[in-house]
Amino acid sequence: METVAARRYASAYRVCLRIAARQATTYRASFLMSSLITLVGNLAFPLVTVLIYGSGAGFPGWTADEVLLIQSVFTLSAGLSGLALGRVVGVTMDRVREGTLEVVLLKPVRPLPFIILTTVQPESAGVALGGAVLMAWSASRSIHAVSATDVLTFLGLFLAGLCVMAGIALVMAATSFRWVGNSRLPEIADSVRIFGHYPLPVFPGAVQAIVTFVVPVGMVGFYPASALLGRSVAGLWPAAAACATFLGFGVWLYHHQIRHYQGVGG
């Protein structure tokens, strides 16, 4: 039954993605500008990295192209996760504040899948495309040989990173049911995700442990890029398991907190 339900949700998501894309491209100039602005915002970190290494500084043990590879993988992950969950946080917050979540709760469907299916953000495709282009460029300059095992490891770790991005979005959305005045929450989440843009060995051991096993944002960029670079990293697969656990926690927290919804103003 779960397999059948998963197939139905996947089919429904493809339809919703196609509809959202057609709606977005109705006003092509607006769509292109929104995609470009979103992409430029996500390329701020690679630009800073270029400036840092251009000034003669840098991260010990890491070349500029290797750091750019980490950041490009992060950008690609952010774009793909944004396609599915980019608006879940904002829509949940708005519905709780306005007292309109009943419109969703009264429907004969599960609220979380319904919100995900109806809040596709096609503008994030530009971020994903930009991340893929930057990744291809930085990989061509930093990777000299890659094996099939490295590629498979990268794909597995990249999927784990997507789980982290989804988990962060769900945790943020879940707080709306208890903390109504949480407009600064996305900024707090960004301050946590920032650690995923850089090589983890440059941070203290305590920070590395937190961003690997507690809020595993290191899996979004650092670990997948390290697999492509052929760098051995300790605690690789336990960190991947932590990502699945984090996503499970996000899903559980959202469903748990939605029970506390009380109408207008939470």
Per-residue pLDDT of 8-59, as tens digits, reads 777 777 777 777 767 666 666 666 666 666 666 666 777 788 888 888 888 8
Measure CA of the first residue to CA of the last residue in the chain; give whole Å. Answer: 34
Confidence of residue 4 (pLDDT cuts 50, 70, 90): low
Give a yes or no: residue 22 inside a domain.
yes
Confidence of residue 266 (pLDDT cuts 50, 70, 90): very low
Give a yes or no: residue 167 inside a domain.
yes
Give a yes or no: residue 112 inside a domain.
yes
Give a yes or no: residue 266 inside a domain.
no
Give a yes or no: residue 265 inside a domain.
no
Question: Residue 24 is part of which domain span?
Answer: 2-258
Percent of the chain with pLDDT over 70: 86
Domain count, the chain: 1
Give a yes or no: residue 264 inside a domain.
no
Give a yes or no: residue 26 inside a domain.
yes
Give a yes or no: residue 20 inside a domain.
yes
pLDDT above 60 for 264: no
